[in-house]
Structure 1
């Protein structure tokens, strides 16, 4: 009888010890998950703010280029020289591309909000990473091509006898140059967005 009592006591003691260790392990795991979720939520909030800033940059670039129009005053109304964005296919492509970029950024805001509400969800981040990379290429191509034309407008090309027109069309060149600068700012924002999405996915 004494041996049986001893066995029962040892079993009860080991069982209570296991019960005492279980809550400690559970608390440590919960604390780690909470800290990771807070970090990812902070990254998602920064992602949302960057998208808002990129929307402004892309919209300003498209609107500025779209309104770049200047007519030189002359003595008669029958002889006028006019410069507008629609005179150059590159600038037309720029307006269309930057409008697409701005529209995409607006549509991506709900997905960015989802990553804030559910910081551990990988699917929305992966979708944003793929789409951001594709739109980044479109943004960079539009900005680069428009920058080349703006450079020719400012400096010309002596080898091909292309004369600079910015001495005559100053307002036109100022607006187109401002649009190009704004588009490159959007490129910087997109690059940061892609890096943030990659970092957030790596931590999963």
Structure 2
């Protein structure tokens, strides 16, 4: 179960990073030489989101051999399992921070804020906002998988 959950979380975080990292839309204007462009790296919180998802995906890829080792040797040292749970918790916190920051910006992009004079960005850049929203869904799905991963690992440790 640990291996499957790690693979699912890695695919979710990689998909979210790629979807956000390739989010871009260009709008033509009435003046021929001016175009309005929206990219993920225009907003620092989206850049943080891509970086955190990439770090989490790399960690999950590096933790797969340890997971396979625990499958082969089910009586493996509890210390390695505890260390893995600690790192899983840290990575879940990092993923949650990145997804939360990006979710706040996506909310503002969809709804704006009249008291701060921020207009709804997504009224003009529909494709860009749609892609960033789907990216968030994948990242929050990864957070849920991390929670399941930590719970199953804790249960496995407590049985020893």
TM over 0.5, shorter chain: yes
Equivalent of residue 12 in structure 2, options 50, 54, 57: 57
**Does 1:83 find its partner at 2:34?**
no
Between the aligned partners of 1:77 and 1:63, the Cα distance in structure 2 is 31
Between the aligned partners of 1:63 and 1:76, the Cα distance in structure 2 is 32
The Cα offsets for residues 67-122 of structure 1, whole Å up to 9 and x where unpaired, read as 01101022444211111111111000001110001000000000000110111221
Q: Which moved more, 1:121-130 or 1:93-102?
A: 121-130
Partner-residue secondary structure (3-state), 1:57: helix
Partner-residue secondary structure (3-state), 2:117: coil
Deviating beyond 3 angstroms after TM superposition, the runs of 4 or more aligned structure 1 residues are none
Under a length normalisation based on structure 2, what TM-score does the superposition of the two structures give? 0.97
Instruction: Please give the residue correspondences for 1:96-175 in structure 2 after superposition, counting only pairs within 5 Å.
Output: 96-121=51-76, 122-175=78-131
Q: Which one has a bigger Cα radius of gyration? A: 1
Partner-residue secondary structure (3-state), 2:114: coil
State the aligned residue count: 159
Let me know the Cα RMSD of the aligned residues: 0.9
Query: Structure 2: 5+ residue runs without aligned partners?
Result: none
Match of 1:69 in 2: 24
The Cα offsets for residues 1-27 of structure 1, whole Å up to 9 and x where unpaired, read as xxxxxxxxxxxxxxxxxxxxxxxxxxx
Q: Which has the higher contact order (CA 8 A, sep 6+)?
A: 2
